């Protein structure tokens, strides 16, 4: 009980710190939505980052912060991921608990450390395949596909360093707006941060401190990660 | 005596005919033409309430249709689908057309928010009831820390534990594999993207007017989709089949009716070479047709398309009486007076009508709506035509000059000379051969009572239907479950009991999706139990929710707000649900008040084990598995047997009737050609490998009625056979013409009737001529 209270106090302190930082941060990001760009313009803006994303896959580490309404401090999680073009996304959360999330065209599979499995087949849920398609396009920075569902925005982010850029996405259909309020992707030589906001005001910020392109075919071990 | 009585009837009959014409003219504009095959078929043997509910549901279902618009590229497919939907909308034939369903689905999910404190998914209910609340907590954590949360329709603020998200996800829309993309439902297959358009017709698809407008709208919509780049448009739904059948029916009706009428005119002209007989015949046919329609309108409130098609062949029958009457002209080329004609023809026409009417009236006894219509139409129509011939013709007809060597006279004389076959030994051999042929045929006889064999749609529509099933990866089953109760609440409770029984079948794949109203709006009893479970385990002060949120770091006031929102949850009422956008996929399932109670339908997909399904539905009060196809096939089977017995009975009655006039042996001789003709027709069908169904048997009944006309005509005019022979020859030609035409119908049961009847009448006439009583020759002197 006491431990909890102490943690709450720490959180409160963190919150006051964040409170000073967040608004400016958000405001700076919002500026991108004043700069609409088409898919070709975005490709030119991103340059090498998009060529990287066009590789047969991408692997790396992630650090996720989830900001929820009424929750003073963000929920932190981290782990590793693998994006394999044509196969799907393998998202391995290690902290705060071990959980593997696999998204493929045929559905979603969740496996916890305790072995608990949860499956959602896209044959049963019309929304799953749609969400999968958007996530795949986000990872591949496939703006042609994204442009059919989102209005696209983009601008150079000079203050973040040379070659830095920021891309914004806003859904066109109200159906999608229920899931994604808006999305931001920032990076330079590659994407380093993705931020998704939903209609209720919750935000998920995913930082990608490390990532590398996969050249050539996937190893059998990696392939196995997407098998049923 | 007869003549005198008929004479006095002239003015009353003429007045009656004028009244008939007036009534017909008044009724015609509002005449309802029905086209559903089911309207023709007998009702299942069930209680009226169930029957009413089944009808209400099938009617609802028949209004729905689904189309997939395909193109090589999604954007093109989407534009083409928009063009398709636009054309359907602007046609006015469809009450609702759905393309952009994404927003509606999101809205439908949000409808549940106010009731979130009391709705549970099956899985969560099981966990909470069995003390596995831990699983629920793990699932909620996973949604917060991993991408799993993105798949939920509600965020952590609205639905912290994902209870409502799971409840909503448990409702699977009946669109199979289709996925949401840019707000529309789509499937991809073989390099093409298909966009789904659903539509609901304004009126029952079986009203002829609706079919016509929907058929035109669909053709226009297909053209619009193709113009917008669609490579493929396939559809599924009753309306297309109904529209196709109606269009075909109309075309057949005008084609067959036209050919039949034209053929009759040509034959009459060849035979009589005078306009007056032609006009009078046309008059009697028209009045007969009007009487038939009027009788159907009065007795049934409308008329079925099939009756009209069948009625167009009535021409072939009613013209027989005129022919027989005018053929009398040749009896005495010099001194014939129309007023004398009834003396020679009245008995033949009267008896002929009586036997025909008797066989039609036998149809009237069968509880077959379609057959009763045909029977009434024919009996009334022929009755009026017969009356016109006997009462109007003697006064309105005039003798017309006939050439010494008139074609008709020569034909009559030639027929009189002909006796087939001339030699006794040959006759015996022919009789034996015919007997062997019939016996062999009867041994190969097999019956086919499946109603599906009676529904024939154009192959491209059937292919489209199969393609839709394949693309959506599921197929709605023809079977459904009907649930009834004293109150709406009881119906929902009974549905829940049924779903519980079906759960094991769904788990091991013996059954696909089950679409039930109670899945979207649980019974009040279920909701109360769920609220209790939630209050005890989740929303209590030491329950799952406060513990979970405290662990995450929520402040107590935020937690209190969540608890307060949950505690205030009311029960979701059925009426509120039905009025909401969330009810859209379920609307046709709720049948509401029916026969003193309430009813709903549960629709089933991918039934792979019908026996297990039946077993699951058995023994539940108010729950009934309905399989219309099987039921109707059974009914067809039973009535085929009854109709076969009926034929025997009608033969006996007609035989008894005829024996009063001709004596026992005479009656047998008169019936022999019709019996033989029927048996030979049946044998031909059997040798051809045709499965005999009810409609073949009914056609045999009609063969009996018409065939015995001919033998009676021949027998009644033994003293002057040339005119009778001529009449029979002409009548056969017109009858074979009209029924032979029906054999070319693409509607299976009209085809069955037409083929059987053309064969039967053909054989009957050959027999009647061949077995003509030899006494005729002596009687002339």
What is the Cα–Cα distance from B190 to B199, expressed in whole angstroms? 25
Chain A residues in contact with B134 (beta carbon < 8 A): none
Inter-chain CB proximity A75 and B473 less than 8 Å: no
Inter-chain CB proximity A123 and B157 less than 8 Å: no
Q: DSSP string of B643-679? A: HHHHHHHHHHHHHHHHHHHHHHHHHHHHHHHHHHHHH
Sign of CA dihedral B441, B442, B443, B445: positive
Chain A residues in contact with B141 (beta carbon < 8 A): 97
Low-confidence residues of chain B, pLDDT below 70? 1-4, 37-38, 42-46, 172-174, 205-208, 310, 312-316, 366, 404-406, 418-423, 719-721, 773-781
- Measured in degrees and rounded to the nearest 5, phi and psi for residue B650 equal -65, -40
Query: Whose CA is closest to B342, among B354, B326, B363, B360?
Result: B326
Taking only the tens place, the pLDDT of each residue in A2-29 is: 444 444 444 444 443 333 333 334 445 6
CA distance, residue B636 to nearest chain A CA (Å): 39
Query: Would you call the peptide bond into B451 cis, given omega within 30 degrees of 0 as the criterion?
Result: no
- Cα A90-B138-A58 angle, rounded to 5 deg: 10
Inter-chain CB proximity A68 and B156 less than 8 Å: yes
Taking only the tens place, the pLDDT of each residue in B162-194 is: 999 999 888 866 677 788 888 888 898 888 999
Taking only the tens place, the pLDDT of each residue in A60-116 is: 999 999 999 889 899 999 999 999 988 899 999 998 999 999 998 888 888 877 666
In which residue are the tokens 């026992």 written?
B664
Q: What was the pLDDT predicted at A17?
A: 38
* Residue A152: strand pairing partners: A169
CA distance, residue B507 to nearest chain A CA (Å): 13
SS (H, E, C) chain A: CHHHHHHHHHHHHHHHHHHHHHHHHHHHHHHHHHCECCHHHHHHHHCHHHHHHCCCEEEEEEEEEEECCCCCCCEEEEEEEEEECCCEEEEEEEECCCEEEEEECCEEEEEECCCCEEEEECCCCHHHHHHHHHHHHHHCCCHHHHHHHEEEEEEECHHHCCCCEEEEEEECCHHHHCCCCEEEEEECCCEEEEEEECCCCCEEEEEEEEEEEECCCCCHHHHHCCCC
What is the Cα–Cα distance from B714 to B764, expressed in whole angstroms? 13
Alpha helices in B170-237 (DSSP H): 208-227
Number of inter-chain CB pairs under 8 A, A vs B: 136
Chain A residues in contact with B180 (beta carbon < 8 A): 126-127, 129-130, 175
- The β-bridge relationship of strands A117-121 and A150-156 is unpaired
Name the helix (H) or strand (E) containing B520: helix B517-520
Residue spans per domain, chain A: 34-213
Say whether residue A135 is in contact with chain B using an 8 A CB cutoff.
yes
Residue of A nearest to B101 (CA): A175
CB B75 within 8 A of CB B182: no
In sequence order, what are the residues at sequence separation of 6 or more whose Cβ sits closer than 8 angstroms to the Cβ of residue B395?
A: B7, B10, B338, B339
CA distance, residue B262 to nearest chain A CA (Å): 59
CB B98 within 8 A of CB B86: no
Query: Whose CA is closest to B282, among B269, B292, B293?
Result: B269
Inter-chain CB proximity B155 and A200 less than 8 Å: yes
- The β-bridge relationship of strands A99-104 and A107-112 is antiparallel
Q: What was the pLDDT predicted at B731?
A: 77
What is the Cα–Cα distance from B575 to B36, expressed in whole angstroms? 32
Residue B691 per-residue DSSP state: P
Query: Whose CA is closest to B120, among B674, B676, B569?
Result: B569
Nearest CB to A179: which of B139, B150, B172? B150
- The β-bridge relationship of strands A191-197 and A203-214 is antiparallel
- Measured in degrees and rounded to the nearest 5, phi and psi for residue B66 equal -130, 135
Inter-chain CB proximity A172 and B182 less than 8 Å: yes
Chain A residues in contact with B122 (beta carbon < 8 A): none
Residue B690 per-residue DSSP state: P
Inter-chain CB proximity B553 and A73 less than 8 Å: yes
Taking only the tens place, the pLDDT of each residue in A161-180 is: 888 899 999 988 776 776 67
* Residue B476: strand pairing partners: B605
Q: What is the dihedral of CA B501, B502, B505, B506, to 10 degrees?
A: -140
- B690-707 residues labelled b (16+ CB within 10 A) or e (exposed): bebbbbbbbbbbbbbbbb
Q: What was the pLDDT predicted at B129?
A: 93
Residue B150 per-residue DSSP state: G
Nearest CB to A131: which of B103, B150, B185? B150
In sequence order, what are the residues at sequence separation of 6 or more whose Cβ sits closer than 8 angstroms to the Cβ of residue B12?
A: none
Residue of A nearest to B178 (CA): A126
Say whether residue A93 is in contact with chain B using an 8 A CB cutoff.
yes
Inter-chain CB proximity B106 and A175 less than 8 Å: yes
Tell me how far apart the 2 most distant CA atoms of chain B are, in Å: 123
CA distance, residue B179 to nearest chain A CA (Å): 4
Give the mean model confidence (pLDDT) for residues A28-42. Answer: 82
Chain A residues in contact with B98 (beta carbon < 8 A): none
In sequence order, what are the residues at sequence separation of 6 or more whose Cβ sits closer than 8 angstroms to the Cβ of residue A195?
A: A29, A183, A184, A185, A186, A203, A204, A205, A206
What is the Cα–Cα distance from B237 to B228, expressed in whole angstroms? 23
CA distance, residue A8 to nearest chain B CA (Å): 7
- B137-157 residues labelled b (16+ CB within 10 A) or e (exposed): bbbbbbbbbbbbbbbbbbbbb
What is the Cα–Cα distance from B37 to B633, expressed in whole angstroms? 13
Nearest CB to A202: which of B102, B156, B179? B156
What is the Cα–Cα distance from B120 to B125, expressed in whole angstroms? 6
Q: What was the pLDDT predicted at B294?
A: 93
ipTM of the complex: 0.85
Nearest CB to B158: which of A99, A114, A200? A200
- B417-433 residues labelled b (16+ CB within 10 A) or e (exposed): eeeeeeeeeeeeeeeee
Q: What was the pLDDT predicted at B779?
A: 35
Q: What was the pLDDT predicted at B405?
A: 65
Nearest CB to A175: which of B103, B138, B178? B103
Chain A residues in contact with B146 (beta carbon < 8 A): 77, 91, 93, 99, 101, 110
Cα separation values, B40 from A30, B367, B373, B451, B755, Å:
68, 10, 9, 12, 20
Cα-atom radius of gyration of chain A, to the nearest Å?
A: 18
Q: What was the pLDDT predicted at B51?
A: 80
What is the Cα–Cα distance from B139 to A110, expressed in whole angstroms? 10
Q: Is B256 left (phi over 0), alpha (psi -120 to 50) or beta?
A: alpha
CATH level 3 topology of A34-213: outer membrane lipoprotein receptor (LolB), chain A (2.50.20)
Inter-chain CB proximity B554 and A99 less than 8 Å: no
Name the helix (H) or strand (E) containing B3: helix B2-8
Say whether residue A64 is in contact with chain B using an 8 A CB cutoff.
yes
| Residue of B75, B156, B170 to mutate for A, most A C-beta atoms under 10 A | B156
């Amino acid at each position: 009980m006491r431990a909890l209270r102490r943690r709450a106090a720490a959180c409160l302190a963190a919150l006051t710190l964040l409170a000073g930082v967040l608004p400016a941060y958000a405001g700076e990001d919002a500026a991108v939505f004043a700069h609409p760009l088409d898919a070709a313009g975005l490709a030119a803006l991103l340059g090498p980052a998009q060529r990287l994303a066009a590789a047969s896959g991408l692997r790396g580490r992630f650090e996720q912060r989830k900001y929820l309404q009424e929750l003073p401090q963000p929920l932190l999680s981290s782990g590793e991921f693998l994006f394999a073009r044509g196969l799907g996304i393998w998202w391995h959360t290690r902290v705060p608990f071990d959980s593997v999330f696999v998204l493929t065209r045929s559905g979603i599979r969740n496996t916890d450390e305790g072995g608990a499995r949860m499956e959602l087949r896209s044959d049963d849920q019309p929304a799953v395949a749609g969400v999968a398609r958007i996530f795949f396009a986000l990872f591949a920075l496939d703006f042609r596909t994204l442009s059919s569902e989102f209005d696209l925005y983009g601008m150079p982010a000079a203050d973040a360093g040379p070659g830095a850029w920021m891309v914004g996405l806003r859904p066109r259909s109200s159906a999608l707006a229920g899931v994604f309020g808006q999305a931001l992707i920032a990076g330079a030589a590659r994407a380093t941060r993705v931020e998704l906001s939903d209609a209720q005001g919750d935000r998920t910020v995913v930082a990608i401190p490390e990532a590398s392109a996969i050249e050539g075919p996937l190893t059998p071990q990696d392939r196995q990660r997407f098998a049923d | 005596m007869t003549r005198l009585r008929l004479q006095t009837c002239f003015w009353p009959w003429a007045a009656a005919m004028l009244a008939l014409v007036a009534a017909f003219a008044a009724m015609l504009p509002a005449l309802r033409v029905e086209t559903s095959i089911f309207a023709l078929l007998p009702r299942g043997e069930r209680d009226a309430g169930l029957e009413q509910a089944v009808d209400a549901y099938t009617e609802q279902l028949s209004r729905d249709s689904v189309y997939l618009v395909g193109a090589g590229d999604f954007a093109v497919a989407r534009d083409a689908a928009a063009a398709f939907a636009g054309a359907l909308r602007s046609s006015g034939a469809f009450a609702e057309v759905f393309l952009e369903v994404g927003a509606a689905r999101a809205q439908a999910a949000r409808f549940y928010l106010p009731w979130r404190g009391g709705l549970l998914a099956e899985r969560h209910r099981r966990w909470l009831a069995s003390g596995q609340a831990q699983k629920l907590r793990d699932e909620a954590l996973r949604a917060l820390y991993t991408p799993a949360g993105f798949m939920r329709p509600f965020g952590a603020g609205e639905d912290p534990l994902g209870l409502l998200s799971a409840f909503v996800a448990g409702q699977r829309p009946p669109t199979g594999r289709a996925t949401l993309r840019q707000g529309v439902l789509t499937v991809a297959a073989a390099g093409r993207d298909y966009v789904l358009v659903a539509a609901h017709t304004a009126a029952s698809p079986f009203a002829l007017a609706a079919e016509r407008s929907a058929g035109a709208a669909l053709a226009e919509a297909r053209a619009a989709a193709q113009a917008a780049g669609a490579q493929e448009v396939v559809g599924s739904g009753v309306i297309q089949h109904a529209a196709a059948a109606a269009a075909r029916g109309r075309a057949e009706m005008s084609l067959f009716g036209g050919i039949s009428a034209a053929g009759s005119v040509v034959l009459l002209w060849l035979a009589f070479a005078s306009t007056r007989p032609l006009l009078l015949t046309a008059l009697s046919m028209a009045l007969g047709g009007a009487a038939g329609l009027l009788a159907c309108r009065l007795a049934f409130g409308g008329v079925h398309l099939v009756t009209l098609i069948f009625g167009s062949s009535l021409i072939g029958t009613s013209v027989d009486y005129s022919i027989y009457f005018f053929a009398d002209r040749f009896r005495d080329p010099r001194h014939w007076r129309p007023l004398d004609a009834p003396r020679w023809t009245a008995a033949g026409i009267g008896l002929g009508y009586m036997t025909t009417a008797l066989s039609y009236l036998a149809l009237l006894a069968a509880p077959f709506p379609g057959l009763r219509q045909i029977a009434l139409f024919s009996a009334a129509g022929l009755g009026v035509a017969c009356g016109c011939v006997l009462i109007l013709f003697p006064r309105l007809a005039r003798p017309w000059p006939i050439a010494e060597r008139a074609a008709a006279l020569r034909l009559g004389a030639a027929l009189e000379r002909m006796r087939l076959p001339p030699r006794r030994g040959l006759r015996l051999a022919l009789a034996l051969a015919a007997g062997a042929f019939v016996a062999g045929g009867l041994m190969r006889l097999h019956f086919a009572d499946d109603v599906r064999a009676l529904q024939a749609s154009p192959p491209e529509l059937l292919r489209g239907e199969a393609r839709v099933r394949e693309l959506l990866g599921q197929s709605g089953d023809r079977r459904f479950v009907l649930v009834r109760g004293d109150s709406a609440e009881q119906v929902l409770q009974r549905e829940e009991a049924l779903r519980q029984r079906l759960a094991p079948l769904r788990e091991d794949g013996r059954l696909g999706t089950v679409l039930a109203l109670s899945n979207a709006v649980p019974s009040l009893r279920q909701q109360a139990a769920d609220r209790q479970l939630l209050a005890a385990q989740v929303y209590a002060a030491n329950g799952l929710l406060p513990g979970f949120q405290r662990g995450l770091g929520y402040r107590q006031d935020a937690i209190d707000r969540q608890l307060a929102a949950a505690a205030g949850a009311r029960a979701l009422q059925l009426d509120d649900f039905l009025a909401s956008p969330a009810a859209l996929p379920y609307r046709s399932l709720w049948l509401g008040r029916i026969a003193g109670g309430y009813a709903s339908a549960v629709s089933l997909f991918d039934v792979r084990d019908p026996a297990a399904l039946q077993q699951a539905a058995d023994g539940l009060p108010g729950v009934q598995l309905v399989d219309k196809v099987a039921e109707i096939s059974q009914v067809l089977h039973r009535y085929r047997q009854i109709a076969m017995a009926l034929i025997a009975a009608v033969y006996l009655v007609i035989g008894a009737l005829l024996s009063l006039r001709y004596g026992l042996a005479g009656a047998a001789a008169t019936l022999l050609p019709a019996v033989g003709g029927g048996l030979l027709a049946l044998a031909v069908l059997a040798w051809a490998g045709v499965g005999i169904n009810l409609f073949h048997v009914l056609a045999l009944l009609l063969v009996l009625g018409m065939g015995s006309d001919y033998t009676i005509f021949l027998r009644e005019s033994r003293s002057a056979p040339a005119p009778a022979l001529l009449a029979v020859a002409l009548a056969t030609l017109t009858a074979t013409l009209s029924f032979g035409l029906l054999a070319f119908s693409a509607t299976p049961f009209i085809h069955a009737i037409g083929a059987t009847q053309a064969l039967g009448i053909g054989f009957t006439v050959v027999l009647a001529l061949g077995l003509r009583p030899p006494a005729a020759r002596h009687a002339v002197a």
